[in-house]
């Protein structure tokens, strides 16, 4: 996909918001990317997944694996495009570790493609990598819709992102948007009812 096509999808679906945002890390930013904005439209999810699948067309994979929740929709679409099965990891309620549940079974020597929606620090993907290593499953590649890491996060397998939007962040005490008095928004969190 051309960058302009991807950007048009993000704009059409209000996925890329401009303003003044409080991120879950506590830092402030002038931009927020809401992946669910795009993925609420299956036709866009399909188009983006086909782009990721095309990038990995020369590798034979047995399955696509994604960390829940972020990777579920896009991972499933990539698996459809690559005609493989799809499994997902989730956090154990007991110890918060990334685990496979629901009877998902990995076989030694299988080849997997990891798919996640957004790359910021790469924490969840690293946990999936560890899990696959323990199961002796090979990783053919790692795909994202958006890379916000400014290409600073590296993995042991080839990485591909449909679009790069480096994340601009400010410390709360040193934020130009705060200084301008622009009200801050908490995307993703429920707004307080006024009545």
Q: Give the number of other CB atoms < 10 A from CB of residue 28.
A: 22
Q: Please, which of residues 156-195 interact with Zn ion by CB under 5 A?
A: 175, 177-178
Closer to Zn ion at the Cβ: 46 or 185?
185
**How far is residue 136's CA from residue 17's CA, in Å, rounded to a whole number?**
40
Q: What's the closest the beta carbon of residue 24 comes to Zn ion, in angstroms? A: 15
**How far is residue 55's CA from residue 136's CA, in Å, rounded to a whole number?**
24
Q: What's the closest the beta carbon of residue 31 comes to Zn ion, in angstroms? A: 12
Give the pairing of strands 169-170 and 28-33.
Answer: antiparallel
Those residues with Cβ within 8 angstroms of residue 99's Cβ, 6 or more apart along the chain or in another chain:
89, 90, 91, 92, 131
Q: What's the closest the beta carbon of residue 170 comes to Zn ion, in angstroms? A: 6
Closer to Zn ion at the Cβ: 17 or 178?
178
Q: Give the number of other CB atoms < 10 A from CB of residue 44.
A: 20
**How far is residue 113's CA from residue 64's CA, in Å, rounded to a whole number?**
5
Residue nearest to Zn ion (CB): 175
Closer to Zn ion at the Cβ: 90 or 185?
185
Interface pattern 13-42 for Zn ion (x via CB under 5 A):
---------------x--------------
Closer to Zn ion at the Cβ: 43 or 174?
174
The DSSP secondary-structure symbol of 185 reads B
Residues near Zn ion (CB under 5 A) are: 28, 175, 177-178
């Amino acid at each position: 996909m051309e960058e302009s096509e991807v950007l048009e999808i993000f704009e059409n679906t209000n996925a890329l918001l401009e303003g003044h945002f409080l991120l879950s890390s506590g830092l402030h930013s002038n931009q927020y990317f809401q992946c669910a904005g795009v993925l609420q439209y299956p036709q866009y999810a399909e188009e983006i997944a086909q782009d990721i699948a095309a990038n990995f067309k020369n590798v034979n994979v047995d399955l696509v694996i994604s960390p829940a929740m972020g990777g579920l929709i896009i991972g499933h679409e990539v698996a459809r495009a690559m005609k493989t099965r799809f499994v997902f990891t989730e956090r154990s309620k007991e110890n918060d570790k990334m685990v496979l549940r629901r009877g998902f079974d990995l076989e030694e020597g299988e080849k997997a493609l990891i798919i996640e929606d957004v790359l910021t620090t790469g924490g969840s993907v690293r946990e999936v990598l560890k899990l696959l290593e323990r199961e002796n499953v090979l990783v053919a590649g790692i795909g994202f819709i958006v890379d916000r890491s400014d290409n600073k996060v590296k993995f042991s397998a080839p990485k591909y992102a449909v679009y790069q939007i480096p994340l601009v962040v400010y410390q709360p005490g040193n934020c130009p948007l705060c200084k301008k008095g622009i009200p801050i928004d908490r995307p993703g969190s429920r707004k307080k009812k006024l009545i």
